[in-house]
Amino acid sequence: VSEFEARYQALRNRFLLRCAEDLAKLEAAAVDLTAAEPQALRLTVHRLAGASGTFGFPELGAIAGEADDALITGPAGAGPQIERLIGALRETLAVD
């Protein structure tokens, strides 16, 4: 299990680096969601919804899940959920 823990921590650190990249993508998309590429935005958010809990961030995952649901009908109506996800990502990266 100790070898597992070491490898898990390395993957968790890499996940956090990717969260920083995702934050930048979401901030850029949030400037004008009507111009955002729907599929790319959905994949970014869906990834966060699926992975965050596994790496110890269940609340971030839940907020990403809400944004993922909101994006089903397209980015234009998902502004509040994307803003909330941006806030949760900023908080996660500031704390961890």
Partner 1 sequence: MNRALNILYVDDEPDIREVAAIALELDEGISTRVVGSGREALEALREPGYHPDLVMLDVMMPQMDGPATLAEIRRMPGLERLPVIFITARAQSHELAGFLALGAIGVITKPFDPMMLPVEVRAMVVRAGP
Q: Give the residues lining the site for partner 1 (CB under 8 A).
A: 1, 4, 7-8, 11, 14-15, 18, 39, 43, 46-47, 49-55, 58, 61, 65, 68
- Residue 50 CB, nearest distance to partner 1 (Å)? 4
Give 24 or 43: the residue with its C-beta nearer to partner 1: 43
10 Å CB burial of residue 83 (0-12, 13-18, 19+) is: middle
Give 4 or 31: the residue with its C-beta nearer to partner 1: 4
The rounded distance, in Å, linking the Cα atoms of 89 and 37 is 20
- Residue 24 CB, nearest distance to partner 1 (Å)? 17
- Residue 27 CB, nearest distance to partner 1 (Å)? 21
Closest CA to 67 of 91, 83, 54, 53: 83
Q: In this structure, what token pair is assigned to residue 82? A: 């994307």
